[in-house]
């Protein structure tokens, strides 16, 4: 079975590793030159990282991660709203483990062995004829495959070529990301300041704590260059001592910082002929529930499972089963992350205060109901 995976992100790399384990070789293309700028922090629920058990990578992943034992929400001025213990979930299903995206990508890379991985290569066109798909690459060459998997992220070229423009969901918020020293933040705790017209999240990893400072994308908030550091410090002043510490550690204006726009996408279709979507290409996730990477890994496991039980003649049927097993589950969880965004990202001080009072009475399971339910659902 000749398989092309477009995108060497978490979903694509997980799929390549699982296929390799099953004796199926894939060709993996990645438009970046290397993995040097593979991203920032992420959290993995057992929904996703349990895939690593089968790849014999779980012990290493666990050793390189930090367990999130508490999830803490503070208000616009840094006062504690609620601290949830993650222990009940950890005891029953497994802990939430925090790492950097480069750490996870490097780990998955070790699992793909001699898989044909081509950097600096992007997809230009796809042409389906009968039981074959011809892909043309950025270097002008073309190759024919039995299956093409679009794992190329939120702005997927595969999705655009095959399914056309799909509806994006825009929160109209975005934020800056940087690192602070791990010793300056609470241990084993995700801390989020749910403000009024501003949000700061602090997420520890073994490489340091990632900081996300978000606000509505109006005015010059998203502008890089001169004055950026001062503008951000002014925007988030008065949110408490921990935020002040993070603001002090913010890099100077001449250093590159990533600005993360909070949007997602939902493709109406996931498969057409012998082309299928995986991960953010099919349904992108806001970072609000920390579930996107887990969903991509889980989807990769299901797709690998279906492909391992068919041959090249019946690929289209295998893809239809993959979609039946995954699409509804992923979209329900995606909707949960959107609901959380509406709770977290509020402009009005009055509404934010009402939200904070109500949050005191939420359990963690109520906060992310479909995610909690997903732990017990078969896939």
Please state, in angstroms and as integers, the Cα–Cα distance from residue 340 to each residue in 77, 244, 253, 269, following that order: 20, 25, 32, 25
CA distance 205 to 80: 22
Q: 339-357, pLDDT tens digit by residue?
A: 999 999 999 999 999 999 9
Report the distance separating Cα 222 and Cα 258, nearest Å. Answer: 10
Q: How far apart are CA 216 and CA 227, in angstroms?
A: 18
Give me the pLDDT at residue 126, please. 98
CA angle, residues 156, 318, 108, in degrees to nearest 5: 55
pLDDT tens digits for range 31-77: 999 998 778 999 999 999 999 999 999 999 999 999 999 999 999 99
Question: How many Cβ atoms from other residues are within 10 Å of residue 198's Cβ?
Answer: 25
**370: pLDDT strictly greater than 80:** no
142-145/189-194 β-pairing: unpaired
Distance between CA atoms of residues 49 and 61, nearest Å: 9
Question: Would the pLDDT of 289 be above 90?
Answer: no
What confidence category does residue 375 fall into, taking pLDDT thresholds of 50, 70 and 90?
confident
pLDDT value at residue 224: 94
Question: What is the side-by-side order of every strand in the sheet holding 168-180?
Answer: 80-85, 70-74, 189-194, 199-205, 208-216, 168-180, 258-265
Q: Specify the pLDDT at position 369.
A: 72
DSSP secondary structure code for residue 252 in this structure: P
Domains of the chain, by residue range, sit at 3-68+97-168+265-343+369-374
Distance CA 142, CA 157 (A): 16
Evaluate if residue 371 carries a pLDDT over 80. no
pLDDT at 365 over 90: no
Average pLDDT of the residues in 221-230? 95
State residue 168's pLDDT score.
95
Nearest alpha-carbon partner for 191 in 202, 205, 206, 181: 202
Q: What is the mean pLDDT of the chain?
A: 95
SS (H, E, C) 275-330: EEECHHHCECCCHHHCCHHHHHHHHHHHHHHHHCCCCHHHHHHHHHHHHHHHHHHH
The three-class DSSP label of residue 191 is strand
Q: What percent of the chain has pLDDT over 90?
A: 92
Residues facing 43 on adjacent strands: 98
Specify the DSSP element, H or E, that contains 106: helix 101-111
pLDDT higher than 80, residue 368: no
User: How far apart (Å, rounded) are the C-alpha atoms in residues 226 and 237?
Assistant: 19
| Mean pLDDT (whole number) for 13-33 | 96
The interaxial angle of helices 10-21 and 101-111, nearest 10 deg, is: 20
Residue 364 binned pLDDT confidence (cut-offs 50, 70, 90): confident
Is the CB of residue 298 less than 8 Å from the CB of residue 379? yes
- Number of DSSP helices (H) and strands (E) in the chain, helices first: 14, 19
Burial (0-12, 13-18, 19+ Cβ within 10 Å), 310: middle
pTM exceeds 0.85: yes
In this prediction, residue 328 has a pLDDT band, given cuts at 50, 70 and 90, of very high
Residue 228 has pLDDT above 80, yes or no: yes
Which two tokens mark 209? 């704590």
More confident site: 365 or 240: 240
**Residue tagged 């749910």 (tokens):** 194
C-alpha span between 3 and 149 (Å, rounded): 8
Residue 358 is classified by DSSP as: H
What is the per-residue pLDDT across 243-287, written as a single tens digit (0 to 9) for each? 999 999 999 999 999 999 999 999 999 999 999 999 999 999 999
Residue pair 12/28 in contact (Cβ under 8 Å)? The answer is yes
Strand order through the sheet with 271-272: 116-118, 26-29, 3-6, 147-150, 275-277, 271-272
Can you give the pLDDT at residue 39? 85
Superfamily of domain 3-68+97-168+265-343+369-374: FAD/NAD(P)-binding domain (3.50.50.60)
Tell me: the pLDDT tens digits for 91-135?
999 999 999 999 999 999 999 999 999 999 999 999 999 999 999
**Cβ atoms 191, 82 nearer than 8 A:** no
Q: Whose CA is closest to 8, among 24, 43, 37, 32?
A: 32
- Percent share of the chain, pLDDT over 70: 100
Place of tokens 């490489």: 207
| Closest by CA position to 148, among listed 130, 160, 165, 132 | 132
């Amino acid at each position: 079975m000749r398989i092309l995976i477009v995108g060497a992100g978490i979903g694509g790399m997980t799929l390549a590793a699982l296929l390799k384990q099953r004796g199926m070789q894939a060709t993996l293309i990645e438009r970046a030159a290397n993995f040097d700028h593979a991203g920032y922090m992420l959290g993995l629920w057992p929904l996703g990282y349990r895939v690593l058990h089968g790849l014999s990578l779980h012990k290493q992943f666990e050793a390189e991660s930090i367990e999130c034992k508490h999830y803490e929400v503070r208000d616009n001025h840094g006062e504690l709203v609620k601290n949830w213990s993650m222990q009940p979930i950890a005891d029953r299903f497994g802990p939430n483990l925090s790492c950097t995206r480069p750490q996870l990508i490097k780990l998955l890379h070790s699992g793909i062995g001699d898989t044909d991985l081509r950097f600096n290569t992007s997809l230009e066109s796809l042409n389906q004829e009968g039981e074959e798909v011809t892909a043309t690459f950025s270097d002008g060459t073309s190759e024919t495959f039995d299956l093409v998997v679009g794992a190329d992220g939120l702005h997927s070229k595969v999705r655009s070529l095959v399914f056309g423009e799909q509806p994006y969901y825009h929160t109209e918020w975005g934020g800056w990301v940087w690192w602070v020293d791990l010793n300056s933040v609470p241990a084993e705790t995700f801390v989020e300041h749910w403000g009024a017209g501003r949000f700061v999240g602090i997420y520890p990893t073994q490489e340091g704590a990632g900081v996300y400072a978000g606000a509505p994308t109006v005015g010059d908030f998203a502008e890089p260059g001169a004055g950026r550091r001062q503008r951000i410090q002014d925007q988030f002043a008065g949110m408490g001592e921990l935020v002040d510490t993070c603001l002090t550690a913010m890099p100077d204006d001449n250093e590159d910082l990533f600005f993360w726009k909070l949007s997602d996408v939902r493709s109406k279709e996931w498969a057409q002929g012998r082309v299928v979507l995986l991960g953010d290409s099919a349904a992108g996730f806001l970072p609000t529930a920390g579930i996107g990477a887990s969903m991509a890994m889980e989807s990769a496991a299901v797709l690998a499972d279906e492909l391992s039980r068919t041959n090249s003649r019946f690929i289209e049927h295998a893809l239809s089963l993959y979609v039946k097993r995954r699409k509804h589950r992923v979209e329900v969880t995606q909707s949960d992350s959107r609901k959380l965004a509406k709770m977290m990202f509020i402009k009005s001080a009055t509404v934010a205060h009402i939200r904070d009072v109500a949050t005191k009475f939420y359990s963690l399971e109520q906060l992310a109901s479909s995610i909690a339910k997903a732990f017990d659902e078969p896939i």
